[in-house]
Amino acid sequence: MINDKILFEIEQWAKQMLADCDAGHDWWHIIRVRNNAKAVHAIEGGDWNTILLAVILHDIADTKFFDEVESLMLIERKLKEHHIDAEVLDHVIKIIQNLSFSKQWCDTSFTSLELSVVQDADRLDAIGAVGVARAFSYGGHKGRDFYNPAIPPQEYASADEYRNSNSPTINHFYEKLLLLKDKMNTKSGMAMAAQRHQFMEEYLKQFFKEWGE
Residues binding Ni ion (CB under 5 A): 59, 122
Toward ligand ADP, which CB reaches closer, 82 or 165? Answer: 165
| Binding segment toward ligand ADP, per CB under 6 A, in 48-56, 99-107, 109-117, 194-202 | 99-107
Minimum gap (Å) between residue 172 Cβ and ligand ADP = 4
| CA dist., res. 102 & res. 196, Å (int) | 21
d(CA 155, CA 175): 7
Residue 25 beta carbon to Ni ion: minimum distance, rounded to whole angstroms: 6
Interface size with ligand ADP, residues (CB under 6 A):
15
Give the residue with the Cβ less far from ligand ADP, 46 or 128.
128
Tell me the per-residue interface mask from 21 to 60 with ligand ADP, x by CB under 6 A, - otherwise.
---x------------------------------------
H or E, element range at 67: none
User: Phi and psi of 56, rounded to 5°?
Assistant: -60, -40
Which of the residues 154 through 173 are near ligand ADP (CB under 6 A)? 169, 172
Interacting partner of 197 out of ligand ADP, Ni ion, none (Cβ under 5 to 8 A depending on kind): none
Determine if 102 is a binding residue for ligand ADP (CB under 6 A).
Answer: yes
Question: Of ligand ADP, Ni ion, none, which one does residue 134 interact with (CB within 5 to 8 Å by kind)?
Answer: ligand ADP
| CA gap 22, 129 in Å, rounded | 17
Buried b or exposed e, range 45-83, using 16+ CB within 10 angstroms: ebbebbbbbbbbbbbbbbeebbeeeebbebbbebbeebe
Rounded CA-CA distance 129/133 in Å is 6
Q: Which of 59, 22, 10, 8 is nearest to 169 (CA)?
A: 22
- Contact residues: ligand ADP, CB under 6 A: 24, 62, 64, 100-102, 122, 126, 134-135, 138-139, 169, 172, 176
